[in-house]
């Protein structure tokens, strides 16, 4: 099994106590953890671009990319559903604004990851929390349950992983308005564990897991 870099946009420690996602709580207690800090702009595309080590800071979705982001080139990883373009970027491309249900998205993402992970590293994203919590937070804990079950399914299939969110939960219906703090849980330790995790650092940490340097 190859390493997995899995983003879950808008996943937030602030709902861990309220929603008690069992598997995520277990990971919280048993893996290397940190806090991702991302102050504005908190657009999915600009945040993910930082992870993928692109120099430009886009404030909106791109229509297309001329070449693969640096992290994907450096690690030979396959992209799945990355929200840097709309439709999303990678082997699995979903329209961000199509109103795709939570279940539909995770089923497609899980299938795409499991199709690739035996052969190469995968960088993938789940956008459902971000997309749906911007509209309403009423079903938050049931969405957390879907994410929890999905993460369990995926993490149990890989040996090395980084699970992160590029920012916390939406604070309003505005696309770039989120909590400043995201989640970071990983199978490998990182240097300076008492420092917050920067988005650019996540790409470097994944590269180190894949290539060893």
15 makes contact with another protein (CB under 8 A) = yes
113 makes contact with another protein (CB under 8 A) = no
What is the nearest approach in angstroms of another protein to the Cβ of residue 18? 7
What is the nearest approach in angstroms of another protein to the Cβ of residue 77? 26
13 makes contact with another protein (CB under 8 A) = yes
107 makes contact with another protein (CB under 8 A) = no
Residue of 28, 74, 152, 204 that binds another protein (CB under 8 A): 28
Instruction: Report how far residue 82's alpha carbon sits from residue 50's, in angstroms, rounded to the nearest whole number.
Output: 12
Taking the least distance from each CB to another protein, the nearer of 116 and 201 is: 201
Terminal-to-terminal C-alpha distance of the chain = 19
23 makes contact with another protein (CB under 8 A) = no
State the number of CA atoms in the 13 A half-sphere of 129 facing the CB: 30
DSSP state of 13: G
Binding piece for another protein, criterion CB under 8 A, among 8-16, 50-58, 67-75, 198-206: 8-16
Q: What is the 3-state secondary structure (H, E, C) of 130-164?
A: HHHHCCCCCCHHHHHHHHHHHHHHHHCCCCCEEEE
Nearest residue to 199 (alpha-carbon basis) of 184, 179, 178: 184
| The token pair that represents 140 in the structure block | 């938050």
42 makes contact with another protein (CB under 8 A) = no
14 makes contact with another protein (CB under 8 A) = yes
Taking the least distance from each CB to another protein, the nearer of 13 and 61 is: 13
């Amino acid at each position: 099994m190859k390493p997995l870099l899995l983003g879950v946009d808008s996943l937030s420690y602030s709902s861990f106590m309220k929603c008690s996602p069992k598997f995520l709580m277990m990971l919280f207690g048993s893996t290397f953890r940190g806090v991702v800090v991302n102050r504005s702009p908190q657009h999915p595309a600009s945040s993910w671009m930082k992870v993928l080590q692109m120099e430009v800071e886009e404030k909106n979705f791109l229509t297309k990319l001329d070449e693969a982001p640096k992290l994907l080139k450096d690690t030979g990883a396959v992209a799945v559903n990355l929200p840097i373009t709309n439709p999303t970027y990678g082997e699995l491309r979903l329209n961000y604004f199509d109103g795709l249900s939570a279940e539909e998205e995770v089923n497609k993402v899980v299938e795409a990851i499991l199709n690739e992970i035996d052969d190469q590293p995968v960088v993938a994203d789940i956008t459902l929390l971000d997309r749906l919590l911007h509209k309403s937070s009423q079903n938050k804990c049931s969405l957390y349950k879907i994410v929890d079950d999905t993460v369990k399914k995926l993490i149990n299939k890989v040996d090395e992983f980084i699970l992160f969110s590029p920012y916390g939960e939406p604070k309003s219906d505005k696309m770039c308005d989120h909590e400043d703090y995201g989640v970071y849980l990983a199978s490998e330790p990182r240097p300076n564990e008492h420092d917050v995790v920067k988005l650019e650092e996540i790409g470097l940490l994944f590269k180190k897991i894949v290539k060893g340097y």
